[in-house]
Every structure is written in C-alpha cells, then in structure tokens.
Amino acid sequence: MTLPIDELAQILRNAAKAEIMPRFRRLGDGDIREKTSAVDLVTEADEAAERFIKRECAALMPSALFVGEEGVAADPALLSRIADADLSIIVDPIDGTANFAAGAPLFGVMAAVVSKGETVAGLIYDPLGDDWMLAEKGSGAYLVCTDGERVRLRAAAPAPVADMIGVASSSMLPKDQRRALLNRLAETRILANYRTAAHEYRLTASGALHYQFYVKLMPWDHLAGSLLLEEAGGYVRKWDGSPYRPTDVNGGLLTAPDAESWRELRQLIGSDIA
C-alpha cells in the first residue's frame, strides 16, 4: 500500500499555519478550557486545527476512519472503531496543549496511519521549527527540513544506566509510586519532562534522549512517536514487555536504545510500578 505521507505532512503544516500559530500567545480568556483537570486543557486552536485536518484528510484518504483527540473527547466510542477499521488516521492537533496555552514554544502536531491494526506511518510536525519527522514501517525514520532535505534519524547508542538521559511522565501515578519512580530514575544522569510527547519522541528518535517512561496510553500521544523511534533503531515496549499496539489504552510505555537497556531500566524502575 502506497501512503500519501508527504501530502499528510503538508496537511499538518497547513493546519498549523492556518489555525495554530495565529493563536499562539494570542488566546483569550474564553479560548482555554479544562477537560479532566487543570493540567488537561483544550483550546480553540486544538479544535480548529482538528477540524482543518479532518476536512483535508477526508479529501486525501476518503475511506479512512479519522480519530482525533478532541473528537474522542466528544465521542469516546471512536476509539473502539480503530480495531476493525481497514485504515485509520489518528491525530493529535496540538500535543503539549498546556505549553501552548502558557505561551511556551514547545508543542507539536502528530498523526499516525493505522492499517488493519498495525501502525504503518507516523508524523510529528514542529510548527515553530517548520519541519517534521516521519516514518513508514520498514523504511526508516527521517527529519524533513523546510527546504525538503531529508536526514536519516538514529536513536541513541546504548549507555550505562548512570549515563542515560531521559523523560518520565508520572503525574497519573499514585503519589507513593510517583515518589518511588522519581527516586529510582535519579540513578540516571538526567531526568526531565517536557510536557509534550511530540518533542520527547523527536528528541529520542534523533539520539538526544535514551529513554521515555509514560503512564497514560492514548493512541494520538504515542503511535506516531513509537513508530518513529523504532524505525530509528530504538526499542519500545509496554511495561509488561509486550509490543505496543494501536488498540492498547491500558498500562504504560517504556522506551530505550535496545532490548538490554530496556530490561535494565525496567529492573531499576521496579515491578511494583506497573
């Protein structure tokens, strides 16, 4: 199957230029709303960008099921349709909404293409850098620059745990597990959290980070990035060691440079965090 991946990238780019960047640092008081908590936000830019992307994807791939983060917020049943769809496009119109709403220049637009239950393509667009990373299954991962140049991506080489740099998203854990996790990952060289999976995956796929730890599995947050990282040579597994699938919404995710590094990190984190 030939996918119009470059055309999909242009849709994300055009949506950012039309609906996201004109609102950056220009949101009014009524343009930001809470969804489930004070740190789970949606803005007018998220909703407008998703409408733009959905409309353009319908013209590009009319037979594909479109699943957007904001669409699922309105109709949770959309998630269950991914399993049976021949072709799905799964989109996060703004990943890092809290950063975007705060005026912090660290957010991205993500899209994944799923065919018969398998992620076959992923894109992460950076509206401020105006470039994107893309991967198609079995074809490698690339940074596509504004001038069209393509640079092959490679994940970080394995390193001793004490030298690893990584990110962890721990806010969804119970407080005792969160405290234990952060204490254990202090054994690595640097532990950070950028509040945007889009840029965390970009950093890991380009070799700047060694590991990522996530608690919440939503397909728009992880499908594009996990494929990107695997195609760049990295290793992605759920906490129980099983492969991550588009229909997985339970459990957590851990990435590493290779399988041995993953096992070392999982042992460090501990079986009580699962």
Annotated binding site: 69, 92, 94-95, 221
What are the structure tokens assigned to 83, written together? 């399993």
* Segments in the chain forming alpha helices (H): 5-15, 44-60, 69-74, 97-102, 175-185, 197-205, 219-231, 259-269
CA atoms of 252 and 238, how far apart (whole Å): 6
Amino acid letter, residue 233: G
What are the structure tokens assigned to 226, written together? 């996990």
Instruction: Report yes or no: 239 and 254 within 8 Å, Cβ to Cβ.
Output: yes
Count of alpha carbons within 13 angstroms of residue 190, beta-carbon side: 8
Annotated binding site for Mg(2+): 69, 92, 94-95, 221
Strand 131-136 relative to strand 118-126: parallel, antiparallel, unpaired? antiparallel
- Residue owning tokens 């220049």: 105
CA atoms of 168 and 162, how far apart (whole Å): 16
Which stretches of the chain are assigned E, i.e. beta strand?
Answer: 32-37, 40-43, 65-68, 87-95, 108-115, 118-126, 131-136, 141-144, 150-152, 165-168, 190-192, 211-214, 235-238, 253-256
Could you give the strand order of the β-sheet that contains 87-95, starting from the edge strand earlier in sequence?
A: 65-68, 87-95, 108-115, 118-126, 131-136, 141-144, 150-152
